[in-house]
Each structure stands twice: as C-alpha cells, then as structure tokens.
Chains A and B, each alone.
Chain A
C-alpha cells in the first residue's frame, strides 16, 4: 500500500519564479493538506482540499494556490517566489480527517 508520494524531492528556484509541487495521497484517502515547515519550526498549515475544492486556508498570501484532481492527487503552486518561501513543503492525506499521513516533503530553496 503506497503512502503519500511527493515530487520533486528537492528544488532550487530563483526569486520571482513560479513553482509547482505535486502530491499523490495514500490509497483510500480523500483529503489532501499542504504544510510549510521552515527550518527549526513546526509545520504550518497552508490549505486543504476535499472534493476538489479548497475547504480551509491558513495565513498564507494568494501567491500560494492549489488544486485537487478527481483522483485526489494535488498540486501546490507558488508564484513570485521570495527568499522566505524557502522551506520543506509537506503534503498530508487523510480519510475524513482521521489519522493524517505525511509524505517525505519537497525541499524548496529560493536563491
């Protein structure tokens, strides 16, 4: 049973560029959440997708957007990258909000 799969694992981008991160949820899960984890801190909630709609959003600017596909996979898009966007981006999936499973993350470096 495959867990949560994220791609790519590492990424280096230049300030002002745009980036797309991808997540495939654990088999049987229908909800995908995205988190940003800066160095030395706990993960911070970005947003959550359920039934292909954004259902909740954390305190992140509109530069952060996402999408969920009919197969429950999801994308996180960040526009106009800033140095402060450098972080580990984690995807988590769950079924009806019980027992979140996290992927290995995408480590984004903005230079």
Chain B
C-alpha cells in the first residue's frame, strides 16, 4: 500500500517564526488533506488539496502531485499552532469508499 512520510518529526519554534512541513507519498493519490490535532485530540481539517496551492490566513499549502509531495507553510506562528500536523492521502482513483492513510505526523511546539 501507499506510504506517507512526514518531516520533520519534531519542530520547536519561537512565536512569530515561520515553518515548512513536508509530506511525501509513494504513489499517485486522488485526495490529500492536512490536519491539525490539538492537545485534546481534536483533528481539525486545514486543507483539502489534491493539487495546487491554497491559502487560509497564516497557513498555506501546496501539493505537487506529479512529484508526490505536499508542503504546509505556517507563517508568524502562534502558541495556539502547537500540536501534531498530519498529512493524509487517499490512494487510487477516488470515489465514495476510499480510506484515508495518515502520515507519521509532525509534532510542533511554539514557545512564547
């Protein structure tokens, strides 16, 4: 099955700093999402981005499907950005019944 790897595994930032998180996947995908899991376990959907670039406030994401990677950019980080960031993909051709395969996650800690 498809493999999803994220880097770096851990990241410590000072408040206000910028960061880039990377997600590599081993095969073609039909769906890619970025999630933020807060310290209470809630998975928040950040982006649905199978290809192209999207921006939402201080966050933006780019997926280059042909090269099998996606990047999540966090600018002007805040302490509330702390948590685990997951990339998740759906392999194959899409449709109603495809499962999400999660990456290994990046643990981000933003210090005041």
A interface, CB within 8 angstroms of B: 30-31, 33, 35, 37, 42-45, 48, 50, 55-56, 58, 88, 90, 92, 94, 96-102, 104-105, 107
A-B contact count (CB 8 A): 66
Beyond A42-B86, A42-B105, whether A100 also contacts B41 by CB under 8 A is: no
Question: Residues on B close to A: CB < 8 A?
Answer: 31, 33, 35, 40-45, 48, 86, 88, 90, 94-105
Chain A positions within 8 Å of B94 at CB level: 97-98
Q: How far is the CB of A97 from chain B (nearest CB, A)?
A: 5
In the complex, which of the residues B40, B86, B101, B103 contacts A45, with contact meaning CB atoms closer than 8 Å? B101
| B90 (CB) vs chain A CBs: closest residue | A97
CB-CB under 8 A from B101, the residues of chain A are 45
Q: How far is the CA of A68 from the CA of B95 in the complex (A)?
A: 19
A interface, over-half SS: strand
Which residues from B are CB-within-8-Å of A105? 41-43
Q: Which residues of B contact A55 (CB under 8 A)?
A: 96-97
Are B104 and A42 in contact, CB atoms less than 8 angstroms apart?
Answer: yes
A101 & B45 in contact (Cβ 8 Å cutoff): yes
CA of A91 to CA of B33, assembled, Å:
16
Q: Are A48 and B99 in contact (CB under 8 A)?
A: yes
User: When A102-B35, A104-B41 are in contact, do A96 and B48 touch as well, CB less than 8 Å?
Assistant: no
Contact A43 B102, beta carbon cutoff 8 Å = yes
